Amino acid sequence: MRRIIIVLAGVVSILAGLAYIGTTWLAADFLGPEVGSEREPVRFWGICSIVIGALLLGVLAVRTWMKEALNDGMLISVLAAIFLIQIPPFGLWMLGFIASGYTAFIGMLLHGALMAMVCLTFVFARRSLSRETA
């Protein structure tokens, strides 16, 4: 179960990055006359999201060839990075939701789901760790 959620988190992180790089379905219309001023930071965020998502999938793929403790540490670090980079866009989409209503809901849902996947992974990992020590 945990591996599936980790793979989903990596894939959704990549898809979220791709959604911000060149498409307009995540439009920031609520910015009014400032629309367009956000392109470069958003593009940078998208590239970071793609790289971190691919890194997560890569770390998971080489799990069998690495020491388990080292791989676990790397997975935790990459998952934490994915969670942390979701905070600014999630907060900004929440502000957009307040300002413009339901047009920002897709952005909130995307980043909230990614944050929830990371939290679920940590919960499942903690449960399995507590079973091993008991």
Q: What is the mean pLDDT of residues 26-38?
A: 54
Rounded mean pLDDT of the chain?
Answer: 83
Q: Could you tell me which residue, 37 or 10, shows the higher pLDDT?
A: 10
Quote the tokens at residue 38: 């956000």
Q: What is the pLDDT of residue 41?
A: 82
pTM exceeds 0.85: no
pLDDT band with cut points at 50, 70 and 90 for residue 28: low
Residue 30: pLDDT band (50, 70, 90) is: very low
* Residue pair 7/57 in contact by the 8 Å Cβ criterion: yes
pLDDT more than 90, % of the chain: 42
**From residue 43, how far is each of 47, 51, 67, 69, 132 by CA, in Å?**
6, 12, 35, 34, 43
Q: What is the DSSP string of the chain?
A: -HHHHHHHHHHHHHHHHHHHHS-STT--GGGGGGTTTTHHHHHHHHHHHHHHHHHHHHHHHTGGGS-HHHHHHHHHHHHHHHHHHHHHHHHHHHHHHHHHSGGGHHHHHHHHHHHHHHHHHHHHHHHHHHHHH-
pLDDT of residue 95: 85
The structure tokens 């679920």 sit at: 120
DSSP type of residue 38: T
Q: Given a cut of 90, is residue 9 above it in pLDDT?
A: yes
